[in-house]
Amino acid sequence: MTRLFPPSLLAAAALAGLCHAAQADTLRTEAEVRALADKVMAQAGAGRTDDAYGAMSPYSLIDIRALEIARSNARNSRMAIEAQVGNSMGYEFIRSEKVGDSLIKLTYIEKTERKAIPWQFIFYKAPAGWGISAFSNGDNVDALFDR
């Protein structure tokens, strides 16, 4: 299987999950969590990956430097990705999973002309409110079917 995303982009996103930011804006409700993820995906689905990362930034509980590295890598690889899968043509919500009272995972696909690109967000309910504790996007569509 051909990889759409360079390992460095996926590694930066994974590494970002291990680091914490000093201060982040938070969301008060689960409805606000879903609205933010929809906003991010609207940008991604329009082919504006840089804007999608920008919409996440204020609510990121992960180290902003790691998020900016992932954002820069995504920006730099976008043209190569589009050459392989075509232009973005929207997005689709796949599912929401909640574990306990403190974790929510939202799964989407970015729809392109030739392939679906999975995006996953994990929100953590910190004392101040909900924030993004991890996210990923990549080319492992098969993982969407594993349950």
CA proximity to 20, closest of 96, 136, 98, 131: 131
Q: What is the pLDDT of residues 29-50, one digit of tens each?
A: 999 999 999 999 999 999 898 8
The DSSP H or E segment spanning 126 is strand 116-126
> What contacts 87, CB < 8 A, 6 or more positions away?
47, 112, 113
Backbone angles phi, psi at 98, to 5 degrees: -120, 135
**Do residues 112 and 49 lie in contact, with contact meaning Cβ atoms separated by under 8 Å?**
no
pTM of the model: 0.80
- Residue-range domain boundaries for the chain: 7-144
Provide the β-strand partners of residue 99: 103
**Do residues 28 and 129 lie in contact, with contact meaning Cβ atoms separated by under 8 Å?**
yes
Q: Does domain 7-144 have CATH number 3.30.565.60?
A: no
Q: What is the pLDDT along the chain (147 residues), one digit of tens a residue?
A: 445 555 434 434 443 444 444 457 999 999 999 999 999 999 999 989 889 989 999 999 977 787 788 888 877 777 788 888 899 999 999 999 999 999 999 999 999 999 999 999 999 999 999 999 998 888 889 989 876
**Distance between CA atoms of residues 57 and 131, nearest Å:** 10
